[in-house]
Structure 1
Amino acid sequence: MNRTLGLRLAGVLTLMFGFGLSAVATQPDGGHAGFMWPVGLASGALVISPRRATPYVVAGITTLTSITFLIGGYPVGVSLGYSVAVTIEAIVAQRVLTLGWTRRWSLLEPNDLGRFFFACALSALTGAGGFAAVSAANSFGVPWRVAIAVFVTHLASEALLLGLFKTYSGANAVYYGNLERIAAWVLTIGVTTAAFIPREMPSLAFLVIPLLGWVAFRAPMREGLLQLLTVGIISSTLSNSGYGPFSDPALMDRLNPEAHHLPQQAFLIACAMVTIPFAMAVSMQRASASQALRERARSERLVQSARGIAIIGTDELGRINLFSPGAEAILGYAPEEVFGQSTRMFHTEAELARHARELGTDPTYVSVVRATGQLPPGTARTWQFVRKDGIPRTLSLILSPITDDHGAFVGYVATADDITDRIDAQNALQKALDTERRAVKRLTEVDQVKDAFVSSVSHELRTPMTNIVGYLELMQDGVYGVPTPGQTDAMSRIDLNARRLLTLIDDLLTLSSMESIDQRRRRGQVDLVGVVQRAVEIVRPGLENRELTFAVDAPANPVSITGDNGELERLVINLATNAVKFTPDGGTITVRLAGPRDGCGPVLEVQDTGIGIREEDRSMLFTRFFRTSHAHELNVPGSGLGLSIAKAITEVHGGKISASSVHGQGSTFRVEFPRQEAAAAR
């Protein structure tokens, strides 16, 4: 508990003790109820005390209450009993108002007002029962009369004092000026005093109620409650002193001493029943109005800050009554230029006709707007607006109808985003894409022409080259005479290069057929074991003059896949020939075939102990006409098409080819074929 709250609690308990002493000291002779004991202060102390401090506050209330009754001359048993009853009464009020410490008490809602009067009545009833029980137990007065007196006086005390302990939210935004405040206080004090001095004019007391209503209407709630308390203090003080309509001896003689002050207490209860609900209703209205003003100010700030969005509002006739800064920036008009004008000013006849066609309505502005407003909420349509300078702008617009609290149509609000630049960018992008498509189409046509040219030239070259090789063989065999040693050497060189040229032509034709979409392949079940064996037999003659170890590791049983027998043989030949070329004498070449296993298809590997591949060359291995830098250095013959052909054949059969190598130690080329199920699906 902080120091401020501690001082506040001490002050409340001190006031309770002081007013309690005054109450028992001024009670009429023969009274047994303690007159108007300030139980409202006891309840208020519990309402504002923290939960952990409540036991100490309860002990303080009980102790101070018993002391006031003892000083007032009450018997010890009665004093202790009354103090316990007052404490219980205060606890009941606190528990009802705070719902058992689960919330803070305020007067902000109608339920709060109901709970307040219920707490006052229930606590007063509890005190009346407690006092009556103590009276009966100690034969101190007539219990039922004591109960009535306690109920009325304690109800008045709770009603006048408890309201001062509510939580204030500071929502009262309307305050009257200082002059009005002074006048209100002067009139309240003056009228109350004037009304409670004469005994013969009880009607004067009713003049106080309009004043309290005026204060409740104009002043903050706290000030209205303070003026209500002031009326209570003045009326009680004058009544105790024998003044006012409620102290007339003729009236007092007819009443029991316990009931002498009940008329004045009833008057205060009536004042509280008028002032508190009125003040609360005015406070709620002020809070609602303040909230509405804040929401309106917030909406205006949002409209003013939305610089990139045009917000245009109209009345039910389509006349502009809202034109945001964003609309001003986009359309170039000042608000005073468009207020009262129809939004028709922003659109051309052609634009209205377009929307009429798309919406299926009459080509009139009213029909188009009505049809647009009837679209599902949030539906955006593209509108072309004409700026003040005549430049058209494309806006994405959402049109929403506005209704009042009774559901009556009062106008439209349109929110629009300028998408002109976005549309221009999309058009430019579309043009670029169209240009790119045309370029790709031309490149495809060029590529097709190139492939056709390569294929045609290769075919045309193959026939004369075959004739050349044939005549060379005849010359080497001596058909045209025995050649001299020099001629034999020259013919050998011609034959070697002619055959290299034939190989290049074959590679070009093969690669062209691999890349041709129209190529028809002889697909069927192919045994890879047989493919490997036939390919090895084709490669072996090239090993006659080489000191190389050539091994084949293949299963004994057939390994079948779906494919083209000739192309698969070419795949193995190319990989094996490549290994032979790049493996120095003394090395080893292994062609390994593994059947399907673990859900994977067959795997073909060609491993050598050759010169290997440098790191910088590996990414280009399967590129057409690429030859490694090491191959150039060693002058190893080749066209650079072997691996690209192998890659093309592998991909045509749904497989994947890869290479691993350590420079100077050898290379391994691995071909992974798909499973038979995947191949069948392809």
Structure 2
Amino acid sequence: MPKSLGLRVGVVLALAFALGIGSVLAAPPGGHIGFMWPVGLASGAVAIVPRRHTALVVTLVVALVTTTYAVGEQYSLQIALGYGIGVGLEALVAQHILTAGWSRTWQMRDLNDLGRFVGVCVGSAFAGALVFTLVSWVYDFGVPLHVGIAAFGAHLVGQASLLGLFREHVGPEESYGSAERSITWGLTLLVTTIAFIPNDVPSLAFLVLPLLGWMAFRGSTREVMLQLVVVGAIASTLSGQGLGPFSNTLWTNADSEFQDIPSVLFLLACAMVSIPFSMAVTMQRRSAVQLVQEQARSERLVQSARGIAIIGTDSLGRINLFSPGAESILGYTPDEVYGQSTRMFHTEAEIARQAAELGTDPTYVSVVRATGELPPGTARIWQFVRKDGIPRTLSTIFSPIIDDSGDFVGYVATADDITDRIDAEAVLEKALHTERRAVKRLTEIDQVKDQFVSSVSHELRTPITNIVGYLELLMDGVYGEPNARQNDAMSRIDMNSRRLLTLIDDLLTLSSMESIDHRRRRSQVDLVTVVTRADEIVRPSLLQRDLEMVLDVPDEPVPLIGDAGELERLVINFATNAVKFTPDGGRIVVRLIAATDSEGPVLEVEDSGVGIREEDRAKLFTRFFRTTRAHELGVPGSGLGLSIAKAIADVHGGRISATSVYGKGSTFRVEFPLGADQVTDD
């Protein structure tokens, strides 16, 4: 328990103990319940402590009550203990009802809280009175029914007068100053004292009620309850001394248990009048504050909505609200538009357009009425004219204003300036139209290019094929045995012709890979089979070379959705490139790594060749690019092999890369995506 709360509980229990002893000692002779024991303080102490400390505080309450009653000569220890248990049970009942079974703290903010407070007072007083009655019956201590009635009345007043002091603070409630507070308290002390001195003027007690009502009207609920405690203390003290209107012979000759009934009823009436009145005033005061805050908040929202025009009118359509946003968008000041009709913002052509769309008469009043009848939140596009004559397009929501009595009092329009957005959309639409035309043109160009490449390749391939054919006849001696010089010349012609045929094939392949309309034969292929077949094609080129070529593939199939021919071409391009740039005595490894749970299959071709300079790596996969080292070594090639490999990798969703250490070798790698073995829509 926090130290501050523990100190507060200690002070409350100490005060309850002191007042309890006083109530027992001041009780009328022959009484059996004491004189208004302060049960509200005991219940309040239990209500404000955390749940885990409830048992301890209740135990202390039982002990204190037992001790206070034990000081009275007529109370035995058993009776005092029984009364102590009764007050402890009463405090537990009050705590449980107040906090709704430990679920929340206790406040007095509305009528539900007031109902709970009344229920607490009645329920806890009844629980305590029941125990007091039982103790009276068990120990033959007075008349049980009389003891129960007297205990219920005294405890009901004690709860109603004191328990309200322990409610949770809910913010400032009072609305009067220190001078008025001092006067009110001074009059309360003076009038209560004067009213409870004479024995034969009962009407003087009613002078206290106006003061209680004034405090309820001007002060806080907590202060009202404190005033009620002070009035009760003065009235009880003076009545106990035989003074006041409730000490005449009519009541002093009554049964000892009922001698305090007039004081109990008076204090109960004061509590039941002042507490509800105070709560009603507080609720009304809080509602008024909330209304002012809401109005201020609405005003701040209107003032802060710089990008939105908010225009309000009265029932005749005259402007009475013109927000800073409206001022910024339309260029008018509020003084220039107040009292004017919103008709000033629109042209005749705009009104006619709106009337045609809404199907109403082409008058501004008809258009406004038809717009107001649209479903709430319906936005319409209106053309406004600024003060400087520049038109602006606003998306406007037009809403009628209905007051609390259901009467129409005006309109409010919220408008968002969408002129720039509409202009931007027009520009974007124009750009999209231009882009669509460009795409169409590119498609046409691509088709022309394909036709051109196909035509040129056909026109080139046919004569070159004839040249190669006749060269083979010449070299075979069909037209006479050639000499050594002729054989050498024909070998050169044959080699360059075949290089030209290879170049034409590469151009055709690259063109088809980049064609928009190209249709691929996609199916599930086994990369192990693809790599093995490519190895068989490349390996004969090693017969005249001193190179070691190693094939490293998994034992199990590696599935992939793709074009088997294109994938085979990718492996061949990597392998032949490695063969060309690896000197004799070198080593080439063609490696295939199967897919895992987190990565797709990987193809690698590693060589111990000449390597690639750093400045050449960025251009490796560019068409027709050949490294400086290739030119230095005179390695033949068109510069299309790696660009074709990249195109094949791209259409299969793979990521191609190359790493190299100049002078020590290179590794070309394609990482296929995970799940590439699943059939998807092309």
Whether these two folds match at TM > 0.5 is yes
**RMSD between superposed Cα atoms in Å:** 5.6
**Partners of 1:14 and 1:585 in 2: how far apart?**
106
* 2:117 alignment counterpart: 116
Match of 1:95 in 2: 96
- Tell me, in whole angstroms, the C-alpha distance in 1 between the residues paired with 2:232 and 2:19: 13
For the Cα contact (< 8 Å) 2:464–2:501, is it kept in 1? no
Distance in 2, Cα, partners of 1:39 & 1:352 = 76
Tell me the distance in 1 between the aligned counterparts of 2:320 and 2:43. 55
Pairs within 5 Å for 1:491-570: 503=501
The answer to whether residue 384 in structure 2 is matched with residue 391 in structure 1 is no
TM-fit CA distance, 1:355: 4.0
**Contact 1:404 1:410 (C-alpha < 8 Å) held by counterparts:** yes
Aligned match of 2:595: none
Q: Is the partner of 1:148 in helix, strand or coil? A: helix
* Offset, 1:366: 4.3
* Displacement of 1:500: 7.8
Deviation readout 1:632-681 (Å, 9 max, x if unpaired): 33445665568878999x89999999898988899999999xxxx99999
Which structure 2 residues correspond to residues 131-210 of structure 1 after superposition, within 5 A?
131-172=132-173, 174-210=174-210
In structure 2, what is the Cα distance between the partners aligned to 1:462 and 1:640? 20
Q: In the aligned structure 2, how far is the partner of 1:310 from the partner of 1:399?
A: 12
Superposed CA deviations along residues 512-559 of structure 1, whole A, max 9, x for unmatched, are 9858889999xxxxxx99xx99x99xxx9x999x789999x9xxxxxx
Rate the CA distance shift 1:184–1:577 in 2: closer, same or farther, 3 A.
Answer: closer
- C-alpha deviation, 1:499, in angstroms: 5.1
Q: Using the alignment, how far apart are the partners of 2:304 and 2:202 within structure 1?
A: 63
Structure 1 counterpart of 2:15: 15
The answer to whether the 8 A contact 1:455-1:509 is kept is no
- Give the aligned partner of residue 422 of structure 1: 421
SS of 1:103's equivalent in the other structure is coil
Does structure 2 conserve the Cα–Cα contact (< 8 Å) formed by 1:469 and 1:498? no
Cα 1:665–1:264 change in 2 (3 A) is closer
Query: Deviations along 1:596-615, whole A, 9 cap, x unmatched?
Result: xxxxxxxx999999978778
Contact 2:401 2:409 in 1 (8 A): yes
Any conservation in 2 of the 1:563–1:653 contact (CA below 8 Å)? no
Shift, 1:326, TM fit: 2.6
Q: Do the aligned residues in 2 keep the contact of 1:472 with 1:491 (CA within 8 Å)?
A: no
- Name the counterpart of 1:292: 291
CA distance in 1, matches of 2:68, 2:518: 117
Task: State the alpha-carbon separation in 1 of the partners of residues 95 and 545 from structure 2.
Answer: 109
How far the C-alpha of 1:216 sits from its partner, in A, is 0.9
Task: Please give the alpha-carbon distance, in whole angstroms, between the structure 2 residues aligned to 1:320 and 1:314.
Answer: 4
The letter of the residue matching 1:248 is: N
Give how far 1:442 is off: 5.7
Map residues 261-272 of structure 1 onto 2, 5 A cutoff. 261-272=260-271
In the alignment, residue 388 of structure 1 is paired with which amino acid? K
Aligned to 1:239: 239
- CA shift at 1:579, angstroms? 9.4
Which AA in structure 1 matches 2:274?
A: T
Is the 2:471–2:494 Cα contact (8 Å) retained in structure 1?
A: no
Q: Structure 1 residues 473 and 230 mapped into 2: Cα distance closer, same or farther (>3 Å)? A: closer
The count of aligned residue pairs is 648
Partner of 1:308: 307
Deviates more, 1:92-101 or 1:276-285: 92-101
In 2: Cα distance, 1:634 partner to 1:283 partner:
99
Residue identity in the other structure for 2:344: M
| 1:402 and 1:409 in contact (8 A); partners too | yes
> Residue 79 and residue 505 in structure 1: after superposition, are their counterparts in 2 closer, same or farther (change >3 A)?
closer
Q: Contact (CA 8 Å) 1:23, 1:36: kept in 2 or not?
A: yes
Structure 1 position 304, deviation (Å): 2.6
Work out the CA distance in 2 between the residues paired with 1:91 and 1:338.
Answer: 67
User: 2-side partners of 1:569 and 1:149: how far apart?
Assistant: 107
Structure 2 CA distance for aligned equivalents of residues 563 and 134 of structure 1: 100
- The answer to whether the 8 Å contact 1:548/1:588 transfers is no
The answer to whether structure 1 residue 323 and structure 2 residue 322 are counterparts is yes
> Structure 2 stretches of 5 or more lacking a match?
521-528, 552-561, 591-602, 672-676
TM superposition shift of 1:269: 1.0
Residues 1:392 and 1:252: Cα distance change in structure 2 (over 3 Å): same
Q: What is the one-letter code of the residue matched to 2:219? A: A
Structure 1, 614-623 or 354-363: larger mean CA deviation = 614-623
Structure 2 counterpart of 1:33: 33
Q: Deviations 1:403-449 (Å, cap 9, x if unpaired)? A: 44566555444433333333334444444444455556666666766
1:326 & 1:161 partners in 2: Cα distance? 55
Helix, strand or coil: the match of 1:247?
coil
Q: Is the 8 A contact 1:353 1:363 kept in 2?
A: yes
Question: Using the alignment, how far apart are the partners of 2:444 and 2:510 within structure 1?
Answer: 15
In the TM superposition, residue 135 of structure 1 has moved relative to its aligned partner by 3.3
Question: After the TM superposition, which of the residue ranges 298-307 and 498-507 deviates more from structure 2?
Answer: 498-507
Given the superposition, is the C-alpha separation of residues 359 and 196 from structure 1 closer, same or farther in structure 2, using an over 3 Å criterion?
same
Alpha-carbon contact 1:135-1:142 (below 8 Å) kept: yes
Q: Indicate how the Cα distance of structure 1 residues 3 and 438 shifts in structure 2: closer, same or farther if over 3 A, else same.
A: closer
Q: Is the 8 A contact 1:476 1:491 kept in 2?
A: no
The DSSP-based 3-state class of the residue aligned with 2:310 is: strand
Query: What SS class does the counterpart of residue 385 from structure 1 fall into?
Result: strand
Q: How many angstroms apart in 1 are the aligned matches of 2:548 and 2:65?
A: 117
Q: Secondary structure at the match of 1:246?
A: coil
Distance 1:126 1:477 in 2: 128
Q: Evaluate the alpha carbon distance shift between residue 605 and residue 197 of structure 1 in structure 2; reply closer, same or farther with a 3 A threshold.
A: closer
Q: 1:442 to 1:35 in 2, by over 3 A?
A: closer
Q: Runs of 5+ in structure 1 lacking a partner? A: 522-527, 554-561, 592-603
Moved more, 656-665 or 353-362: 656-665
Residue identity in the other structure for 1:113: L
Q: Using a 3 Å threshold, how does the CA distance of structure 1 residues 372 and 548 change in structure 2: closer, same or farther?
A: farther
CA distance in 1 between partners of 2:358 and 2:333 (Å)? 31
Q: How does 1:57-76 map to 2 (within 5 A)?
A: 57-76=57-76
1:270-285 correspondence runs (5 A) = 270-285=269-284
Q: Which residue of 2 aligns with 1:342?
A: 341
One-letter amino acid of the counterpart of residue 110, structure 2: E
The offset of 1:221, in angstroms, is 1.0
The letter for the 2-side match of 1:83 is G
Aligned partners of 2:35 and 2:440: how far apart in 1?
A: 108
1: CA distance, partners of 2:33 / 2:680: 106
Distance apart, 1:266 and its partner CA? 1.0
Q: CA deviation at 1:391?
A: 2.5
The 1:423/1:261 distance shift into structure 2, 3 A limit, reads: same
Superposition deviation, residue 274 in structure 1 = 0.9
- Per the TM alignment, residue 372 of structure 1 is displaced from its structure 2 partner at its CA by 4.6
CA offset at residue 21 of structure 1?
Answer: 3.3
Q: Residues 373 and 399 of structure 1 are in contact (CA less than 8 Å); yes or no, is this contact kept in structure 2?
A: yes
1:73–1:422 Cα change, 3 Å:
same
- Summarize deviations over 1:252-286 as a string: whole Å, max 9, x none: 36522332221222111111111111112222222
Contact 2:503/2:638 (<8 A) preserved: no
Is the 2:649–2:656 Cα contact (8 Å) retained in structure 1? no
Q: C-alpha displacement at 1:387, in angstroms?
A: 2.3
Deviates more, 1:313-322 or 1:258-267: 313-322
Cα displacement string for residues 80-99 of structure 1 (whole angstroms, at most 9, x for unaligned residues): 44334333333333333233
Measure, in 2, the Cα distance between the counterparts of 1:139 and 1:426: 96
Tell me which amino acid in the other structure corresponds to 2:88: T
The structure number with the bigger radius of gyration is 1
> Could you say if the C-alpha distance between residues 629 and 272 of structure 1 is closer, same or farther in structure 2, counting changes exceeding 3 Å?
same
Distance (Å, rounded) in 1 between the aligned partners of 2:11 and 2:570: 104
Residue in structure 1 matched with residue 596 of structure 2 by the alignment: none
| 8 A contact 2:217–2:281 mirrored in 1 | yes
Structure 1 residues 345 and 142 mapped into 2: Cα distance closer, same or farther (>3 Å)? same
> Which residue of structure 2 lines up, in the alignment, with residue 525 of structure 1?
none
Q: Distance in 2 between matches of 1:139 and 1:520?
A: 109
> Are the equivalent residues in 1 in contact too, given 2:32–2:147 (CA < 8 A)?
yes
SS in 2 for 1:245: coil
- In structure 1, how many angstroms separate the alpha carbons of the residues matched to 2:572 and 2:69? 122
